[in-house]
Chains A and B, each alone.
Chain A
Amino acid sequence: MLRLIQKLHVFAGLQTCIALMLFGVAGLASTWQARPGAPPGEAHARELDFAAPAQASDRQLADLLYEQLHTPLAAPVPDFALQHDARGQLQLAFYTPNGTTRVTVLGDAQRRRLHIEETRADLAEFLTNMHSITWSRPGSGTPRLLVLWSLYTELSIFALLFLSLSGVYQWLATRAEKRVARASFLVGLASLVLVYVWMH
């Protein structure tokens, strides 16, 4: 049994090592991004004409924008994300791991224009975004590359569960008496329990 667990532990670790190390990088990057005074990403703004039927609904406008802007790796904007500013102008955003494209539909039904602000994610933000992509079914509207990536992260989540539990099992089965290991185990567990109680 132990031999089999050891083998599976090695294979699961090698299979998901990129994701597990990405999770580590994302933890560090998120902490760095949360620092006070962290500059927001630089947005590049532009305006362009937008032809749409006069009676088009918000949903139809959003679908037209999705088709015309061709933002790489963006999914269609869901209904709940269609918003209006104080002037009643439609606002929506396309989020991708590489950044955000925010669009405001200006003007009236006769002559519409678009105000577009594009913010490119730097490498740290990109990696953080990648680590946060969760499982998407094929055919759900999510671009194919992101569906393939979500499959890998889904697998990695289960691998992380397995690696944690099988690692502790191997320690208990082979080197449970090692004092420094017991200390490390207790420090990790006690820190988590203390913060959990403090928070809760």
Chain B
Amino acid sequence: MYRTVRDIHLLLGLFAWPFALLYAISALQMAHPEALHANSADSTSHLQLTAAARATPDAARDFLRSHGDVRGTLTKSEKMADTLVLQLERPGTTYDVTVRADGETTIVEHHGNTLRLLNRLHHAASVWSDFGASNVWGALVIMVSLALLGLGVTGIWLWFLRKVERRAGLVFLGVSVLYAGGLLLLIRLA
């Protein structure tokens, strides 16, 4: 039994460890933004949209994806007078697109640095996006979440089966359950 649980713990941990690092680093960035800066650099480009591509926001999005090196999910579309304003996003990068009535299109790309990308990946969790990479990421988030739960259960189980460091371990586990569990309860009931 011990060997099986230990192998499961090992396999889950080895699969999840790079993601755990990513989440830990991005969490530190969010907790200490004054020390770890998540910046983005802007660049502007222009292209001409065809009449068919200007018909609907989805058509414009598809045209931009195939001709404008724009990758991401359409998150905003707004018709203002004779101008169409779109926003597309993928984790770490946002595109603000302005399409004029004559098809002249301006694309402002806000390209995040590595910390910004990690920050946005930390927040991204959807398998229903129209951007393939986001869906793959969402599926990985589910797998890593299950792995974390599995690591927690098998970790406690292993400690219990090993029968060493029982007393010290019990203190650490007890403090964790009382402190964190107690706070969760108090905050929920507040």
Binding site for B on A (CB under 8 A): 7, 10-11, 13-28, 30-31, 34-36, 72-73, 96-98, 126, 130, 134-135, 145-146, 148-149, 152-154, 157-158, 160-161, 163-165, 167-168, 171, 175, 178, 180-181, 184-185, 187-189, 191-192, 195-196, 198-200
Q: Contact partner of A13 among B23, B133, B142, B155, CB < 8 A? A: B155
Q: Are B117 and A199 in contact (CB under 8 A)?
A: yes
Q: Are A17 and B173 in contact (CB under 8 A)?
A: yes
Q: Are B142 and A27 in contact (CB under 8 A)?
A: yes
Q: Are B125 and A168 in contact (CB under 8 A)?
A: no
Say yes or no for B127: interface residue by CB 8 A criterion. Answer: yes
From residue B163, how far is it (CB to closest CB) to chain A in Å? Answer: 12
Say yes or no for B97: interface residue by CB 8 A criterion. Answer: no
- Closest chain B residue, CB of each to CB of A19: B180
Say yes or no for B24: interface residue by CB 8 A criterion. Answer: yes
Q: Are A18 and B177 in contact (CB under 8 A)?
A: yes
Q: Are B90 and A135 in contact (CB under 8 A)?
A: no
From residue B11, how far is it (CB to closest CB) to chain A in Å? Answer: 4
Known A27-B144, A200-B92: A135·B31 in contact at CB below 8 Å: yes
Q: Which residues of chain B from 174 to 190 have any CB-CB distance to chain A below 8 Å in the complex?
A: 175-177, 179-181, 183-184, 186-188, 190
A176 to B91, CA, bound (A): 34
Which B residues lie within 8 Å of A130 (CB)? 184, 187
Q: Are B31 and A195 in contact (CB under 8 A)?
A: no
Q: Are B165 and A181 in contact (CB under 8 A)?
A: no
Which A residues lie within 8 Å of B60 (CB)? none
Q: Are A126 and B183 in contact (CB under 8 A)?
A: no
From residue B157, how far is it (CB to closest CB) to chain A in Å? Answer: 11
- Closest chain B residue, CB of each to CB of A9: B155
- Closest chain A residue, CB of each to CB of B12: A184
Q: Are B32 and A135 in contact (CB under 8 A)?
A: yes
Q: Which of B14-22, B43-51, B62-70, B78-86 contacts A (4 or more CB under 8 A)?
A: B14-22
Q: Are A164 and B21 in contact (CB under 8 A)?
A: yes
Known A14-B173, A36-B128, A98-B188: A188·B183 in contact at CB below 8 Å: no
A187 to B143, CA, bound (A): 12
Q: Are A35 and B128 in contact (CB under 8 A)?
A: yes
- Closest chain B residue, CB of each to CB of A200: B117
Which B residues lie within 8 Å of A18 (CB)? 176-177, 180-181, 184
Q: Are A181 and B11 in contact (CB under 8 A)?
A: yes
- Closest chain A residue, CB of each to CB of B25: A161
Task: Report, nearest first, the 4 A-B pairs whose CB atoms are least far apart.
Answer: A27-B145, A24-B148, A18-B180, A134-B31
Q: Are A10 and B31 in contact (CB under 8 A)?
A: no
Q: Are B126 and A11 in contact (CB under 8 A)?
A: no
Q: Are A20 and B145 in contact (CB under 8 A)?
A: no
Say yes or no for B52: interface residue by CB 8 A criterion. Answer: no
A22 to B149, CA, bound (A): 8
Selected A-B contacts with CB under 8 Å, 27 pairs: A7-B165, A11-B169, A17-B156, A18-B180, A19-B180, A20-B151, A22-B180, A24-B145, A24-B147, A24-B152, A36-B128, A72-B190, A97-B188, A98-B190, A134-B30, A145-B186, A145-B187, A148-B183, A154-B31, A164-B20, A181-B14, A185-B17, A192-B18, A196-B121, A199-B91, A199-B93, A199-B117
Q: Are A28 and B142 in contact (CB under 8 A)?
A: yes
From residue A8, how far is it (CB to closest CB) to chain B in Å? Answer: 11
Which B residues lie within 8 Å of A192 (CB)? 18-19, 22, 140
Q: Are A31 and B127 in contact (CB under 8 A)?
A: yes
- Closest chain B residue, CB of each to CB of A168: B17
